[in-house]
Structure 1
């Protein structure tokens, strides 16, 4: 499991700057904290952040190549049948260097090309560069469990696991206003489009080939096509037995791992079935993780505990309430990149973070409702006759006595013009008619959703319930899977979904409705498995809205107030907009939409306030373009600053940069050097912004400490306070070291008091940004750094010197090289001039 990123471009174009490639890669660190690497060649740059699951050694490092170097891949996901595929490749003469599924996929592609996708059973998003053809191949799994985004810009193709990596490369984060209606009704933009102009999803079951600036996209898997093929064959004689055996096989395949595996256990039928199957096959002691709520009406903790006790699971739970939800909301919004579409995003994130110290892989029950017909909203579609009768009666009653709850929602649905529209909008809480009541003119239907509905109608004529399930499998389920991916990977957890094994998805879709539904929705096949699971009265159906109703009223005002405060210093206009939108939705929602939709309106208010940040992104991109048009170095520094914020967890504004402080491009060089060296001890001469940047980087890597010498006592106090405010004091220490006379080879210098560094040995990195030239008239002021520290350096140490465009610093470097011939100097591009000294080799 990984975060992947990359850029493809024509050979005639200049390659992307290295810091852009690294910024893309490292913006996805949460997806892969175990390893990071990148590979560049003419026409391509690939990046990978690895979460090690199979073969934890460095042999699993990506990007990975075939032995001849023709094919290179960066890959995210798991192919569960990779051992079977590997055996077939071995029989054909292939040998393998690792025990990863990555290598198997790469060799299979070298043999079969895109046709190899049909052989994969798993979840994946992958990129393969063919150096012979100079082409890039992108592909995504059948149901879209793993995400993949791309953007074509200025003759280049950018791709990544998450949109934030595209932003880090300079792709504009500009909100697409034409998606508003779909976003408000469905809470998610279906299909290839996203909420950002010019940024696309690669659709599930599709692949893309880029060559010489031309992009070709093909659908390699069609559920409708597979159902028709299976209908031509003899189906399972005993659907109940077939489902049980296939489901258990699916769970068993998803146990493949070299790290601990656990299960997300809600107490509901889907997750309980996964947990039971996992426990029966893996034995007692599998870790289960449950989110509980203080509100008894929404708490399934007692059921989850019964399941854990019955099947010998190691039970873990956390209780989530309104406290700290605002901070989780901000974190989840950052991870998701788009507005949050579901009421339980924050809780999946919380339980994943809780589970991470114990496991790296979790199984979950997503997909059961969409494939087995579990949603209660499917029920009205099970009888077209009753639906026609209700259409004549309920809207009339609703217009005179405002119905509440499910009857009120059904009445609103029946106001739609046709059964087709009832099917299309089945997953919505807000309908086009509601938008009209709010004064919004409803535009055209979302074209992708309409095309899927047409596929569904051809596959299941006169069966609106099956049509709704098919539509959900291509739209609503995608939003569920995106949520699951972002919230679990945000905690560096891989989440696997047994209900979406290709054998189950295709086989269930091909069953007749009587065999699948036993006369009505409610997961009859799952209930007939005989596992004796503890059940609540509503188990087997899913309301889908209870969690949001539980939480939104208690946190909405607090969250909105906090977010407005968070944005005040950045954009007062956005604050005003958020207040007006929230107040308007609240008033109109109470008056027109009824209780359930009022809760949704509160959620949408949260969404809208968060989306004001899109405007801030847009303004930053406008600033970048303006600076790029000017013949000044400003553009490069703004770009470098944007890259810096994308690659580090900087949660507060930085002190002013440039002038006497370091420039953003120097800060990026410092970050790259730290990531390359992974230093245990860093010594800095002169504190300031570089102190903060270094501390952030060390904290991000989880190792190393910084000692900073500062000649000015007042400035040392300020630096220490800044570190404490950011929670970085465990990684950095600022010491007051006033300038003292220092004699070297008969010459006296003013240099830092060396007393604090006398115990130091094995220094891996020295950052020389002091003493300040302005305060001391001596020439070669920074010269003493190397002779004083030489005996304290580790063999692999590097010395990073800023301000090398100045005559004095240039002479310092020349003198060092002359007097210490064991060092070599590399001059790096930078606004003020940057030099790195190292020992060769």
Structure 2
């Protein structure tokens, strides 16, 4: 398993090196580049699996005619090698890479259709000047490409990941709005050649791209899809066909054990992955060919969620207990806190948005697996082959109705009662508003939606075979394969999918539909094949879950983070979303009025994807953590010393604190921080003299208000009609403060009363006309002026809450001053001038209450540049040192 990249056209070695380095995780065991002048350049990163000693790439034939980079495994390579040797070919390795190249030399493009496995390959023929890109029948291994026209002529850039194309420097990351719309609107994203990146496309499953002197031709090298859909007589579903299917499946699994590195299995607890584990266990007992790669004990890897509704640990344990050979099951327990920590890396790993958070469970499984194995088999693909999802039942029922097979239709309806009723309950709950789905159309920007209103998505409704083929090659499986490829390769693992065996699929589709669905049972032939090999609790399972996460539980846990993203200026400025509608819907989710987390994930994922790949670096600041600050240092971009007109030079030392919470004894907490500063200053040679001068403590109103319980989560505030209307007339400040939101305006109405706020709004409107600023707040009062809304880059909970001014700030300042005097060292207490509670921001300073010897005007002047910061600094206190009297 490897990473490949390259350029057809002008290039240099530095470009190829960058492209290879960007996908180094795909191949930590080796690297190389190849260049044929200005025609072709290849980069390769190797994960060594087969013939580890001799399989380095790029691969060149002895005569120099063919140069290739290859990613994948062709499992029938031994048979092909024997055939090629009979035709006169001599091999210098026992690696499938050489088989692929020599097969192409012998049979040309027809060779690709003979490969049973997964592959993405680039081959350059120096004799004809032609180059070829080919991707396996199912698209298990990816290839992306982009056409670039410029001063140096036409170039075609390709890579195993989009990162490699971007690393070339020839393509700039930009969103493809059609793909974004279809993903948001229809929940699909892999059904065409397009990607989320404008101008970057996928090579289709079973496609070859031929590059010849600047011309590019794309065509299918296989008729697999057409063959599966071909009309004709079908073999009856019998015990004999079940036996043959089992033998073919067993062989498909055995073939995928080949390698010189440890091989393990991913086990979700569902039928498909359980089958793989059980078959391998049986092969180990039989000492089958290639099984030695598994070792004496099979290593399996599972994600479990104890206490959650979708936990499958009991099924995992049942499979292990039934296995014929020893299985060491490694269990990971993903949780929402880890998810937040990993989220940035997960988004970057996947490169494009995912349908749900489900692939994160797989991400964590691979993170654990890489500590033990290099190759991992799983059950991917069986659902699309054998109707593993609920909608397939209804496709089959509609098919029988269309074909007027009413007897069989009745039998299937009766046999599927439990399945159909489960779906019916979902519909009824939605109709009753108990599990109301959110209308995505209301969440989208109207202009964006109108621009793409012609986009449709209509999966095959009443032909099971056609629907399965559609989902295998377009609607469903391609996305799952992309998730798996990125998750495995992120941790330098090779993922293998034995159900996606070309010969196995061809055989399955020669059988009657009853091999897939019969008497209410989907995957019928698979269930019959493994009965006795697996526990009945697995064989007879009808409640499919798979590798997923307890998404609703997680979103309730991380709601603050999600809400912050949805409230952010960047989210609101995108041309894709109706921010107000999204916020209302998400706050309804928090209140238990809907549970459509997959929709909220899509919205969140798009925003995070744009931030990661499209927005300029450094645009977004992480508000989840606050970096530790040197004790006597200023905040970034601020100064300790400032010269004021009325007081001369003053020093402001910001103090970093722990978070404050409702119910905190802020008098004690703040006085302890003040006393600690005085003690540290006395012990510091540089700052020992500071508190010999007059000084006072400035306290941000936020920490006092939070401690007093005057801070509210946004979803706790219910804006009135008046609040929604009036907030539109207030300019929202760049920092997100003020009354420019329904929530903060509602707090203003509650604090000052609606008549006063209306009068202040009228005065403000008049003031704008006559050129006078500040009339609104002059009339509304300082308590209203001090109301703060959520600040996007502040630490929790300020990023998702709105705050009133502190209650009785003058009294609070006096009490704080008195408390602080009691705990200060003697020298610092003699020069202590008191406490001021201030509302400082980047627009100015409002003195809410104070008990000092300094005038409000002078204090405001000292904080005109807001040395406390306005985001995640977590420095709500400042010791202010005044000039000595007479100096």
Same fold at TM > 0.5: yes
Distance 1:437 1:525, change over 3 A: farther
Q: 2-side partners of 1:230 and 1:172: how far apart?
A: 46
Return the alpha-carbon distance in structure 1 between the equivalents of residues 4 and 548 of structure 2: 35
Is 1:194 the counterpart of 2:195? The answer is yes
What CA deviation, in whole Å up to 9, does each residue of 1:600-656 have, x standing for no partner? 222123213213326x736589x9xxxxxxxxxxxxxxxxxxxxxxxxxxxx9xxxx
What's 1:611 paired with? 609
Shift, 1:592, TM fit: 11
The 5-angstrom pairing of residues 4-83 of structure 1 reads 4-9=4-9, 15-42=10-37, 43-57=39-53, 59-83=54-78
Equivalent position of 1:318 in the other structure: 332
- The Cα shift of 1:295 comes to 2.9
1:420 aligned residue: none
**Cα distance, 1:579 vs structure 2:** 13
SS at match of 1:499: coil
Compared CA separation, residues 280 and 597, structure 1 to 2 (3 A): same
C-alpha separation in 2, matches of 1:563 and 1:436: 16
Q: Secondary structure at the match of 1:69?
A: coil
The answer to whether the 8 A contact 1:435-1:441 is kept is: no
Deviations 1:196-216 (A, max 9, x none): 111000000111001111110
Cα separation, partners in 2 of 1:4 and 1:551, compared to 1, 3 Å:
farther
Distance 1:407 1:387, change over 3 A: farther
Tell me how far 1:405 sits from its aligned partner: 8.1
Contact 1:289/1:316 (CA < 8 Å) preserved in 2? Answer: yes
Question: Equivalents in 2 of 1:80, 1:347: separation in Å?
Answer: 28
Which residue number corresponds to residue 542 of structure 1? Answer: 544
- Give the drift of 1:323: 2.1
Query: How does 1:654-803 map onto structure 2 within 5 Å?
Result: none
Structure 1 counterpart SS, 2:309: helix
Change (3 A) 1:333 1:307: same
Is the 8 Å Cα contact of residues 552 and 603 (structure 1) preserved in structure 2? no
Contact 1:298 1:550 in 2 (8 A): no
Structure 1 residue 302: deviation in Å?
2.2
Which of 379, 397, 405 matches 2:393? 379
Runs (5+) with no aligned partner, structure 1: 10-14, 389-402, 415-428, 458-462, 624-651, 653-841
Q: CA deviation at 1:509?
A: 2.8
- Does the CA contact (< 8 Å) of 1:335 and 1:486 recur in 2? yes
Q: CA deviation at 1:101?
A: 0.2
Task: Please tell me the root mean square deviation across aligned C-alpha atoms, in Å.
Answer: 3.6
| Contiguous gaps of at least 5 residues in structure 2 | 286-295, 403-419, 432-436, 620-626, 628-887
Q: Is the 8 A contact 1:322 1:554 kept in 2?
A: no
Structure 1 residue aligned with 2:222: 221
Note the alpha carbon deviations across 1:293-333, whole angstroms, 9 max, x for none: 13342111122122123212122112111122112221111
Structure 2 equivalent of residue 177 of structure 1 = 177
Offset at 1:435? 6.8
Q: Determine whether 1:121 maps to 2:116.
A: yes
Cα distance in 2 for partners of 1:592, 1:310 equals: 42
In structure 2, the CA distance between the partners of 1:61 and 1:545, relative to structure 1 (3 Å rule), is: closer
- The match for 2:248 among 243, 246, 254 is 246
Task: State the distance in 1 between where 2:528 and 2:205 align.
Answer: 31
CA contact (8 A) 1:288 1:308 kept: no
Give, in angstroms, the shift of residue 252 of structure 1: 0.5
2:377 to 339, 350, 363: 363
- Answer yes or no: is the 8 Å Cα contact 1:3–1:49 preserved in 2: yes
Per the TM alignment, residue 289 of structure 1 is displaced from its structure 2 partner at its CA by 0.8
Equivalent positions of 1:439-458 (< 5 A) are 440-441=449-450, 443=452
1:218 aligned counterpart, secondary structure: strand
Name 1:258's counterpart in structure 2: 260
Query: Equivalent residue for 2:283?
Result: 281
Distance change (3 Å), C-alpha of 1:598 and 1:308: same
- After TM superposition, list the pairs within 5 Å mapping 1:491-510 onto structure 2: 491-510=491-510
Take 1:23 and 1:585, find their aligned partners in 2: how far apart are those partners? 39
| 1:467 equivalenced with 2:466 (yes/no) | yes
Q: Secondary structure at the match of 1:137?
A: strand
- Give runs of aligned pairs for residues 280-679 of structure 1, distance below 5 A: 280-283=282-285, 285-311=297-323, 312-384=326-398, 406-407=423-424, 410=427, 440-441=449-450, 443=452, 463-474=462-473, 475-529=475-529, 530-534=531-535, 535=537, 539-542=541-544, 547=549, 549-560=551-562, 573=570, 584-588=581-585, 598-613=596-611, 617=614
Indicate conservation of the 8 Å contact 2:552/2:595, yes or no.
Answer: no
Deviation at 1:359, TM superposition (A): 0.5
On the 8 A contact 2:138/2:500 being kept in 1, the answer is yes
Alignment check: 8 A CA contact 2:266 2:377 kept: yes
Partner of 2:880: none
Cα gap change, 1:316/1:378 in structure 2, threshold over 3 Å: closer, same or farther?
same
The 5-angstrom pairing of residues 74-223 of structure 1 reads 74-154=69-149, 155-170=154-169, 171-184=171-184, 185-223=186-224
CA distance in 2, matches of 1:478, 1:598: 24
Does the 8 Å CA contact 2:8/2:157 hold for their aligned counterparts? yes
SS at match of 1:323: helix
| Residue 703 (structure 1) aligns with | none
Between the aligned partners of 2:339 and 2:198, the Cα distance in structure 1 is 30
Counterpart-to-counterpart distance in 2, 1:605 and 1:47: 35
Tell me the distance in 2 between the aligned counterparts of 1:554 and 1:294.
17
Say if 1:271 and 1:365, in contact at 8 Å, map to a contact too.
Answer: yes
Q: Which string of whole-angstrom CA distances, capped at 9 and with x for unpartnered residues, describes residues 377-419 of structure 1?
A: 322333229999xxxxxxxxxxxxxx998437658999xxxxx
Identify if the C-alpha distance between structure 1 residues 445 and 143 changes in structure 2 by more than 3 Å, giving closer, same or farther: farther
Q: Is the 8 A contact 2:68 2:121 kept in 1?
A: yes
Kindly state the Cα deviation for residue 578 of structure 1 after the two structures are TM-superposed. 11
Structure 2 counterpart of 1:629: none
Contact 1:379 1:521 in 2 (8 A): no
Tell me how far 1:542 sits from its aligned partner.
Answer: 2.8
Alpha-carbon distance change, 224 to 431 in structure 1, aligned in 2, over 3 angstroms: farther
TM, length-normalised to structure 2: 0.60
1:576-601 CA-to-partner distances (Å, cap 9, x unmatched) read: 76998666324236769996662122
| Equivalent residue pairs, number | 574
Is the 1:382–1:520 Cα contact (8 Å) retained in structure 2? no
Q: Quote how far apart the aligned CAs of 1:67 are.
A: 1.2
Write the distance in 2 (CA, Å) between the matches of 1:195 and 1:580. Answer: 16
Give the superposition deviation at 1:508.
2.1
Q: State the TM-score, normalized to the length of structure 1.
A: 0.63
For the 8 Å contact 2:563–2:586, the answer to whether it is kept is no
Alpha-carbon distance in structure 2 between the residues aligned to 1:188 and 1:102 = 31
How far apart, in 2, do the equivalents of 1:140 and 1:612 lie?
28
In the TM superposition, residue 515 of structure 1 has moved relative to its aligned partner by: 2.9
Indicate how the Cα distance of structure 1 residues 377 and 548 shifts in structure 2: closer, same or farther if over 3 A, else same. Answer: farther
Give the Cα–Cα distance (whole angstroms) in 1 for the partners of residues 182 and 264 of structure 2.
36
